[in-house]
Amino acid sequence: MKTHVAIVGGGPGGATAAMFLKKKGIDAVIIEKEQFPRFHVGESMTGECGAVVRKLELEDKMKMLNFPVKRGLTVYGTGGKNSWFVPVMRRGSDGELHPQFTWQVRRSEFDKMLLDEAVARGTTLLPGQAFDVLRKEDGAIGGVKVRMADGSVEDIESEVVLDCSGQATFLANLGVTGPKFRGNYDRQIAIYSQVKGAIRDEGDKKDDTLIFYKSKYHWSWFIPLDDEVVSVGVVIPSAYFQEKNESKRDFLIRELQELNPEITKRIPEVNLAEEVRSVVNYSFQVRQFTGPGFICVGDAHRFIDPIFSFGLYVAMKEAEFAADAIAQYLDGVDRDLPNPFIRHQTFCEDGIDVVEDFVDFFWEHPLAFASFMHVRHFGEMIDSLAGRIYDGQPSPAVSSMRKLLKRDRKKDHQDALPVGSRFHPERAEIGREAYGN
Amino acid sequence: MNIESKIEKFILDDLLSGSRKTPIGADESLVSGGILDSLALLRIIAFLEEEFGVTVNDDEVIPENFETINVIKTYIETHGK
């Protein structure tokens, strides 16, 4: 089979890329090994993630599927004290902030809606598992090899391979990209499930995201999925979890009762509506995530931390940018460069660097974070949280964060050890075999 | 009133609303000693900027600069107009 773009993975990154490509008249084949709907964590959208959904003209579908409307985020400090609320806001053409809303999405439903929509708009869906790449004579990536359900192998030849495989990091595992490094939060565990019958806030705040803080690196999330069910998760250092010596289920139930009085108040009795799952060592960064014939999108090259809900947004936004980069490439732009997608790579990396600085700043400098949020840089903090991390950066707030973190991003070349690893100097490149399929 | 007394009065009257009856030692730790939380520190910073005309730069908003009344006094003396 031949196509312009072979997309590995039919999650939000893959489906979004396919739809933006289609708008430009570029054909794609999505290779997905799982049957949708399937469970996935990461249910909250930033404001700008909602903007991508609107750009795809899916707002009516979102309403039809009754996804909860998120208007903001409230963070509760230790012991339930010092809470602060951040509204979701957009920047108008006047440069001013205006109220906006975005959504919370049960991922099984949302991801299926997106994939169905991509297919309805003309993308081919190939059920199977990509397991290797095809190379052109000059060494560039020229497609993928796919194992079909019946065991047969199909070669998909393409101009570009888009890796939207999420934390499976398809191309990084094959050694197509540069090395994969550990990130700042790789010694954290997230343990999560969904609960029924939680007590919700009233009025407009009913479906907002809540974050409860206990101590450094110890927090939990509360994300409404419908009128009945709420996604909950506890994030802690791995060492703390091991110390407790409990099953994931027991651990989660106890933590929800002990972590912060404000979450206990909302979940006086824990009625689990899903199995209890966990992700360990989730923080990583892949260098050289684009190259001749390939681009990695979202989690396929970098994941920092679930706090502030950037995961879904970064996947969808990078998918949109990747569609632009591919369209230019097919028009002949930068084709002669050793890496034809170098501008896209730098642009995306600069954006997600802002996320990393923001999250690190939150943990390392709580006083300055509070000061920036409440007094000094309210608008810019709102911008960062909404996902306006690509243009006009570093903003004065982000520059000050970097000063406080003693971090100079200008020196952060693609062949250097990433900041996320440098921050913990003992960190090393993650062995490829350890992450192999 | 000297600088130390002004700061102490602000903490006792405005931040603690008179709930503490004993004076605060000039070297007593305000933060790790649990007298003030981070939101109270933000109000101290605002007070210093207003009362003493100091400009606290973004990268100086660290607890170490406001750890004790004496530390704050030194900060004002080196950053004041």
Q: What's the pLDDT tens digit per position in A337-374?
A: 999 999 999 999 999 999 999 999 999 999 999 999 99
- As a whole number of angstroms, the distance between CA A264 and CA A255 comes to 9
Kindly report, residue by residue over A162-205, the tens digit of the pLDDT: 999 999 999 999 999 998 988 889 889 999 999 999 999 999 99
Output the six-digit token pair for A184.
Answer: 């700042």
Buried b / exposed e across A320-343, counting CB within 10 Å, b at 16+? bbbbebbbbbbeeeeeeeeebbbe
Using CA atoms, how far residue A332 sits from A5, A329, A336, A340, A341, in Å, is: 15, 5, 9, 10, 12
Planar angle of CA A422, A362, A320, nearest 5 degrees: 80
Is A367's CB within 8 Å of B37's CB? no
- CB-nearest partner of B62 from A368, A377, A397: A368
pLDDT, residue A432, reads 45
**Which has more pLDDT, A288 or A410?**
A288
Q: Which residues contact A218 (CB under 8 A, 6 or more apart)?
A: A235, A236, A237, A240, A259
Which residue in A81, A82, A361, A367 has the most chain B C-beta atoms within 10 A of its own C-beta, making it the best mutation to test that interface? A367
Is B62's CB within 8 Å of A81's CB? no
Q: Please check the confidence at residue A421 and state whether its pLDDT lies above 90.
A: no
Using CA atoms, how far residue A67 sits from A63, A71, A106, A107, A200, in Å, is: 6, 13, 8, 10, 16
- pLDDT band for A412, please (50, 70, 90 cuts): low
Q: Please check the confidence at residue A223 and state whether its pLDDT lies above 90.
A: yes
Contacts of B42 in chain A (CB under 8 A): 367, 370-371, 374-375
- As a whole number of angstroms, the distance between CA A248 and CA A268 comes to 19
- pLDDT band for A430, please (50, 70, 90 cuts): low
Using CA atoms, how far residue A147 sits from A8, A73, A129, A176, in Å, is: 12, 43, 5, 19
| N- to C-terminal Cα separation, chain B | 18
Q: How many CB atoms lie within 10 A of CB A147?
A: 16
pLDDT, residue A298, reads 98
Kindly report, residue by residue over A132-158, the tens digit of the pLDDT: 999 999 999 999 999 998 999 999 999
pLDDT, residue A431, reads 47
- CB-nearest partner of B45 from A371, A400, A403: A371
pLDDT, residue B35, reads 85
**What chain B residue is nearest to A398 in terms of C-alpha separation?**
B58
pLDDT, residue A428, reads 54
Average pLDDT over residues A92-97: 96
pLDDT, residue B32, reads 80
- CB-nearest partner of A368 from B37, B39, B61: B61
Size of interface A-B (CB pairs under 8 A): 43
Instruction: Provide the whole-model pTM.
Output: 0.94
pLDDT, residue A436, reads 37
- pLDDT band for A429, please (50, 70, 90 cuts): low
Q: What is the pLDDT along chain B (81 residues), one digit of tens a residue?
A: 899 999 999 999 999 998 889 999 999 999 888 788 888 899 999 999 999 999 999 999 999 999 999 999 999 999 876
pLDDT, residue A418, reads 82
- As a whole number of angstroms, the distance between CA A255 and CA A245 comes to 13
Q: Please check the confidence at residue A437 and state whether its pLDDT lies above 50.
A: no
Q: In angstroms, what separates the C-alpha of B42 from chain A's closest C-alpha?
A: 6
pLDDT, residue A194, reads 98
A364–B contact, CB cutoff 8 A: no
- pLDDT band for A425, please (50, 70, 90 cuts): low
Averaged pLDDT of chain A: 94
Q: How many CB atoms lie within 10 A of CB A207?
A: 22
Taking alpha carbons only, the member of A436, A359, A358, A435 closest to residue A182 is A435
**Which has more pLDDT, B80 or A124?**
A124
